[in-house]
Homo-oligomer: A and B are copies of this chain.
């Protein structure tokens, strides 16, 4: 937790709390991760790009479940009505016409087959553990902490912008079509992040709760960071692939 421990002694004003939350992102968001830098510099092999898409699918697929858990903990119908949009965004009208389906399209347009991606069975165990930790966090922590953990969306427009530009410019097998998932995300994420930030600033009304909100955002940054660590370790250097993980050209 480094210097974000004990960040709220005596309590912070709303603008001070917002500044600390933004500082968490400035220091710990995965936009600073070496794997992301390798992606934006054009250094990923196609295999690594596939592994990234296949592993990240596990994260995308759990988003509506963690949002449903947040709905289940929310007593205010107006809060639920606002938060519900996130589930609609990811599942779409029929379950397979929203963000998850678009991510699946991204993965299959990289050459992966639908069943392999959807089954999640070739994902890295470390990916599954990180994604499971996120769902457990939203299950077991307070509503405030679960909402605060979503605040990484404050930082996502920049990383999406970097990612999409680089994917189109530096990887000749990637087209506008491949990255269609990202076209709607900045607008959705801004809407969602504004709502979540306002909620956190309103409800983190003691020093203890402010610290919980900060810790929740640090935790979420750790999740995203650990997912890229696992990819970098498994696919970035030879000889590190854990048993049972996705291999290039593997038809299973």
Instruction: Write the residues of chain A forming the contact surface with B, with a CB cutoff of 8 angstroms.
Output: 1-2, 5, 27-28, 34, 121, 124-126, 128-130, 132-133, 136, 218-219, 221-223, 225-226, 229-230, 232-234, 237, 239-240, 242-244, 252
Contact = CB atoms under 8 A, between A and B. Distances in A.
A29 to B, nearest CB: 10
A183 to B, nearest CB: 31
A41 B240 CA distance: 18
A135 to B, nearest CB: 9
A226 B130 CA distance: 11
Contact of A243 (B121, B128, B136, B225): B225
Contacts of A130: 125-126, 129
A74 to B, nearest CB: 23
B126 A243 contact: no
Given A34-B239, A125-B226, A129-B223, 9 more contacts: A125-B219, A126-B126, A126-B230, A132-B132, A218-B244, A221-B243, A222-B244, A229-B234, A229-B240
B242 A226 contact: yes
A139 to B, nearest CB: 9
A45 to B, nearest CB: 18
Contacts of A129: 126, 129-130, 132-133, 223, 226
Contacts of A136: 132, 136
Most buried by B among A132, A219, A233, A237: A233
Contacts of A126: 126, 129-130, 226, 229-230
Contact of A229 (B28, B219, B242): B242
A120 to B, nearest CB: 11
Contacts of A230: 126, 226, 229-230, 233
A57 B244 CA distance: 27
